[in-house]
Each structure stands twice: as structure tokens, then as C-alpha cells.
Amino acid sequence: MSKPKVVVTRRWPEAAEARMKELFDVSLNATDTPMSAAELTRALKSADAVCPTVSDTFNAEVLDHDGLSAKILGNFGVGFNHVDLEAAKKRGLVVTNTPEVLTDCTADLAMTLMLMVARRAGEGERHVRTNAWTGWRPTHMMGAKVTGKTLGLIGFGRIARAMAHKAHFGFGMRILFNDPFPPSAEVVNALGATACATPEEVIASADFVSLHCPGGAATRHLMNAERLASMKPGAFLVNTARGDVVDQDALVAALKSGRLGGAGLDVYDGEPAVPESLKTLENVVLLPHLGSASLETRVAMGMRVIDNLEAYFAGRPPRDRVA
């Protein structure tokens, strides 16, 4: 019996690619060059499965074609707003993602951004590298204390809850959150968290606001000029969710005005493009979408994609089906 044909759109960790080779007739992207829309469509027409990442846009332009042979999109990542689910369903495509395995790694990075921007770590590191540091003095590069402050979480899924655990039990932080689908009271109480009825209630009370909601039309520019203006003076914004959740122009204006203490960003609207206006600000920490970027996590993500493909081709329901 022939193996299912699978196209992997970007390089994966070696262990995950090796497992792919064992199980499938796989086409790997050795150059790690992003595939064009036409190339993605050709992949859908030549393979039984395609494995995209967040950097691959599967919209109607890519999906709305006759003669597609692919039956499943095994997404490498937990977020899937880069896939037009309605267009995928129209073409009979199953879509899966990789939840759970990247939870702690992404929460760790959200904590990293919060600590870096509060303590001016990015600015300080540049200060040393450019030989600008002249020695210790009492008023040099004073930042904001993190321990004991209030952390507000917009979204309270797995990653947000992992961050809440680290922040509350590791740094004694008070936790506020808003989520339209909150977990049980038992989970909330175990994290020492308090539910808020609206995002505005969280934003107005938090010293640090961390975003953990999905991207897409429903949350586009959720952090707009009005909500940024309602943050506490000197508060900090952290985003490890999706870039389009933040109105970047409004954020730049809020940061330049001095009303916000700073921002820590791992994702951007239209990435990999990052506005020059953000790059020039010292009170922003900018990372290149590193949320899940540990070897252990990226291997686990690849294996989770493979598990979903194995289940599908064996006639079993994939555990992580989203469409």
C-alpha cells in the first residue's frame, strides 16, 4: 500500500522531519523559502496532505480551486487564523492544529517580555553593546518593579493560565482576566485569579496587560487607541497572541506620548514587516515570533501534526481537529 503524499511548507526540526519520512511520501522544504500562493495551490493539487505554518496564508485565492487532491491541512501551530476555515470546509478539507504542547514555552516568553520591558533589559543590553555605559549610579535606567503588581490577561486559555500560574506563584502578582468562555471556578480560584466582565475592566486596573486572544476579524485591533488610552499611566502591554490584535499606529502614538511605560511584542500585524516607528522606540522590546521557539516544543509540535495525520489516514478522528 502506498504512503500518503505530504507537503511540508517550511523546515521542521530534524527529529520531526525524520519521523515524517518514515511514515509518509513527504516533500520537505529544504531551502526553507516561503511558498507563494501558486505553490501552495499546487501542493494542494499534488498531495494528500499539506502541513502549513502561521506564515502560510491559506485563503480563498489558494483554496478555491477545482482538482484539489489534499484531504487535510495539518497546521504546525496552535493558531489557525491564517487558514480560511469556511473555504477549507467548502473544499472538504479537514484542518488540525497543535494545542497544549507549546503552552508553557509561549507563557515563558510572555513572562520574558514582561520582565524585559519593565526592567528596561533590551535598552540596557543595547547600552552595554554600544559602549554607552559609564558605570553604576543610583538613577541610571530605573525601570518598574514586577513582583506584587497586577497582571491583566485578555483571554484565559491554556497559555494565559500558564502565565497566570508563573506570575501569581512566582512573582506574587494579582491576576485579572476577561474571557468570553472562562474556565471553571475551581481553575480560576486555583490560580488566584479574578474574572472581569469586560476587557475594559481588566485594562483599567492592570499594571501589565498581556494579550492571549485569537487573531482574526473578531479581535482585529482589539487594543485600539481608545483601549490603549484607558490603560493605567505607565502600564505595559505584552503581545504574544497575534499581531492584528493591536492597532500598531495607535500603540506607537501611546508609547511616544509617554503615557504607557512600554510594550513587549513577539507578533506584528503584517509580519515579518515591523514598522520603523516601533524599531526606533527604546521603550519597546521586539522579538521575532519566538513564542514556541524551543527545540523541545518545536519537535513536539511536529509530532503532534504527525499524530493528527496518522489518525486521519487510519480512518480515526484527528484529536486536534478545528474544521
Point out the residues that are catalytic: 242, 271, 289
Residue type, 175: I
Greatest Cα-to-Cα distance within the chain, rounded to the nearest angstrom: 73
**Closest to 227 in 3D by CA, of 264, 207, 200:** 200
Q: How far is CA 173 from CA 140, 263, 314, in A?
A: 26, 18, 47
At 194 the three-state DSSP class reads strand
8 A C-beta contact, residue 292 and residue 32: no
Closest CA to 63 of 34, 29, 94: 94
Kindly list the strands in the beta sheet with 25-27, ordered across the sheet, starting from the edge strand earlier in the chain.
Answer: 25-27, 5-8, 49-51, 72-74, 94-96
Alpha helices in the chain (DSSP H): 14-23, 37-46, 60-63, 85-90, 103-118, 121-129, 158-171, 185-190, 199-205, 225-229, 248-257, 276-279, 295-313
194-199, Cβ contacts within 8 angstroms, sequence gap of 24 or more: 196/152, 199/154, 199/227
- Are 322 and 89 in contact, with CB atoms under 8 Å apart? no
Contact present, 13 and 302 (Cβ < 8 Å):
yes
Q: Tell me the residue type at 78.
A: V
